[in-house]
Structures are given as C-alpha cells and as structure tokens.
Amino acid sequence: MAQQGCPFLKIDPSGQDLYGEIARIRARGPAVEVELPGGVRAWWINGLELNKRLLAGPETSKDAYRHWPAWINGDVSRTWPLAIWVSVRNMVTAYGEDHGRLRRPMAAAFTRRRVDALLPRVREIVGRALDRLADHPPGRVVDLRAEFAAPVPHEVVCELFGVPRGEDGPRAALYRIIDRFFDTAISLEDARANAVDLYDTLSAFLRHKREHPADDLTTALLAAHDAGEMSEQEVRDNLILLLTAGFETTVNLIDNTVHSLLAHPGQLALVRSGRASWEDALEESLRLEAPGAMSGLRYAVEDIEIEPGLTIPRGDALVVSFAGAGRDPERHGPDADRYDLTRPTSRDHVSFGHGVHHCLGRPLAIAEATVALSALFERFPRLALADPSRPPRRLRSIISTGHESLPVLLHGAAPDALPGPREPGRAEPVGEPSGP
C-alpha cells in the first residue's frame, strides 16, 4: 500500500534551498511524495543505493508515453512549463529495446579514441579563454562562470556537433536557449517561447548539416536516420539531449569545483602539493554538487516495494535525486555535506547516471574539466573569490546545480598565504550547512 506524505512537500521552483529541501525530505523516509513546479506530484528518492536500484533496474522507465498515465491521459498538460523534459523522444527517455537502438549510434561516437583526439582542441579552446581573462586589468572582479566555465564547454560541444560559428548563427542562439532551458522557475509563456525557439533553431541547423556533412556527431545522427535507425523527431530530440547535457553539466562541474576549491583553500593545497589530483577534486565535486540535481522524471513500470509498508504504485512518477544520493549520510557519513578530497567514498555517486543509462559523455566531461582546471590555476595561481563571505547565488533550477555567477579576483591571494590542508575528515563545509 502506498504511503502519502501529509501534507505534500512543495518543491521551490527556484532551487535556492535545494539541499535544505533534500534534507527535509530525507528526514521523512526513503521515498516521499512531493509537489513539483506546476503542481505535478512525484515520489522523491534520496538514498544512494535506492537511487542505483531504480536507475539500473527495469522497475522504472523514462518513457512518459508508455508508462506515465497522468501524461497519457492528459492529467498533466502539454502546456506544463517543464513538459519538454518528458515530451522529448531520445535515448534517455527511451525504454527497453528503443533505448539500445537510440544509444548505439552515439556510443560509437563517444569512444576514448575520439575523446583523446579532441583533447588538443580542448587545450586550444581553454588557452584562448585564459588569454581573454588575462586581458582584464588587475583588481577587476570577473564572473568566472560567464567568462570561462561556460564559454569553454559551449565551444567544445559546438565543435563536437559541427555547429557553425557566426554572431547570428546557431551557436549564439543555442547558448541563449540552453541558458533558459534549465530554469525551472520559468513562466509558461517563456517556456513555450523557448521551446519554439529551440526547435526552430535545430531544424535550421539540421538543414545546414544535410547540405554540409562532416566528421561530427550531428552528421552521425543524420546517418542513423538515413539508415532507418531513428525518426526525424528522435534525431532532433537526441540533439537536444546531447547539446544541453554536454554543455550545462560541464559548465556546472567547472563552476562548482572552482568555487569549492577557492572556498576551501586547505583542499586546494592538497592538489597543489600533489597529495590529491584534479580528478579527485572533480569526483568530490560531482558527489557534493551533482551538476544535474535530478534525472528528470521516471515512472513505475510496476508496483515498487521500497520497504515493508511503503510501495510506489505502478504508473506514479519518481524523481531520482542525484543531489540527494551524493549527500546520503548512510554512505558518506554524518559530514556528507562537506567538501573533502580525502573522503574514501568520493567516487561513489550517480552524478553521471548508473547502469544502462550511465552518461556516454562522462570521459569527455572529466577530461575537459581537468584540462580547464589545471590550466586555470596554473595561469592564475592567486585566483580567489571576490567575496568569500557571500556564497554565490544559485541558478533558478531544481535540475541544474550551479551558480548564476562566480565573482573572482584573478590575482587575489598569494599561493604561499594559503593555509595548509586540514586533517582528513575535517574539511570545511560548503556554503550553508544543509541540515533539516
């Protein structure tokens, strides 16, 4: 029998207290019914092991057209502001054989060989971005998200998919559209206008790629369509997935890791001294600040028993919370909300998914962020937060976990003035404690 929270916890669409809400949900149990933006109800899942189970097994689906009665019957309107997150038909929302069919063409494209071949280009892109930063006069506050964390992944993903340059071209349009795509506090009118803008931009881009094929992933998608492996809608919707996820998650990964290292100089000292690696810093950041806080909605294919007396009924929607799983105290201890590069469980997270839905772009994202971080701190060894006493404002989103801006001073604090690392288990907390 299903248990209902009374009353339902209403999730703030702005995401400004996301971790506080996650802690309050966790206090109520392993699966709690919540109300999402727009009045849509779903079960929120926080625990790491339960998240892994529901990500990897056949008990849940992301295909709203097959497994979410509220969507099929029209109880959830197609005008819901977050409708595009469930209406798209791509490899993430596909179930069973359809998932394998849509994933195969991209799996062949995201090989280690392709990532390695792209790395010299990534270094060039990072180098140019650092040169632009160096043009700022000493003492000027710089928004590192807007001027480094975002432009680098945007240029990389556009090159990967063959998006042409030009001030009035699709690169600039996609940058603007994706910026609004993850805003879960967006109005209905703005959400609909953004969706129209997105599909119009992609349609024009795909026409361009048919006329100018190249060795890029968009051409690979079109080839899959021509071979009868994808419909026209599936090509567009897979492109939406790959462009948005390939951009936003890497932006947030760089943004969050830079902020955590600058806010915790003892942890940065571990990397500088070689006692920890850049990848260690990224993995702990992925655990603590999952770039995508949730995976979108999933649906119970069958009744799912969570524990005796708590069952999620077939057809109900679920939120698999990457952010909640990363801060699960049962796995990561009572200090799970602290940034600690010596944490033995840092790599045990689901920020890149789990099971058959694990993210194909993970190797590229890690490689790209490693190049960006190492080059940034080498070029600006005195990099510092502009105002360490004021945490940057979070994005207006329960899906995307990053900052609206990341104000820094490029030449702020001398490296030899940084304190040494604290003892393991004594890392400083990130921002405000996320207690209930």
Task: Tell me the domain boundaries of the chain.
Answer: 9-417
Alpha-carbon distance 109 to 331, whole Å? 34
Alpha-carbon distance 315 to 338, whole Å? 36
Question: How high is the pLDDT of residue 167?
Answer: 66
Q: Would you state the CATH architecture of domain 9-417?
A: Orthogonal Bundle (1.10)
Residue pair 391/431 in contact (Cβ under 8 Å)? The answer is yes
Question: How high is the pLDDT of residue 32?
Answer: 95
Residue pair 401/14 in contact (Cβ under 8 Å)? The answer is no
Alpha-carbon distance 111 to 363, whole Å? 9
The model's pTM is: 0.90
Alpha-carbon distance 419 to 115, whole Å? 36
Residues 6+ apart with CB under 8 A from 326: 48, 286, 287, 288, 289, 290, 332, 336, 349, 350, 351
Alpha-carbon distance 28 to 5, whole Å? 8
Tell me how crowded residue 380 is: count the other CB atoms within 10 A of its CB: 20
Residue pair 289/274 in contact (Cβ under 8 Å)? The answer is no
Question: How high is the pLDDT of residue 348?
Answer: 96
Alpha-carbon distance 141 to 410, whole Å? 8
Residues in the chain: 436
Question: How high is the pLDDT of residue 420?
Answer: 40
Residue pair 184/82 in contact (Cβ under 8 Å)? The answer is yes
C-alpha atoms less than 13 angstroms from C-alpha of 116 in its C-beta half-sphere = 3
Residue pair 174/206 in contact (Cβ under 8 Å)? The answer is no
* 57-70 pLDDT per residue, tens: 889 998 999 999 99
Find residue 32's DSSP bridge partners: 44
**CA angle at residue 121 from 403 to 109, to 5 degrees?**
85
Question: How high is the pLDDT of residue 28?
Answer: 94
Residues 6+ apart with CB under 8 A from 153: 246, 247, 250, 251, 254, 368
Residues 6+ apart with CB under 8 A from 122: 152, 156, 367, 368, 371
Q: Residue 141's closest CA among 384, 386, 377? A: 386
Alpha-carbon distance 360 to 352, whole Å? 9
Question: How high is the pLDDT of residue 341?
Answer: 97
Low-confidence ranges of the chain (pLDDT < 50): 1-5, 414-436
**136-166 b/e (C-beta count within 10 Å ≥ 16 → b):** eeeeeebbbbebbbbbbbbbbbbbbbbbeee
DSSP helix/strand/coil, 295: strand
- Residue 54, H or E segment: helix 48-56
| Strand ranges (E), 102-250 | 141-143
Question: How high is the pLDDT of residue 217?
Answer: 87
- CA distances (Å), 339 to each of 51, 59, 252, 415, in order? 22, 33, 16, 20
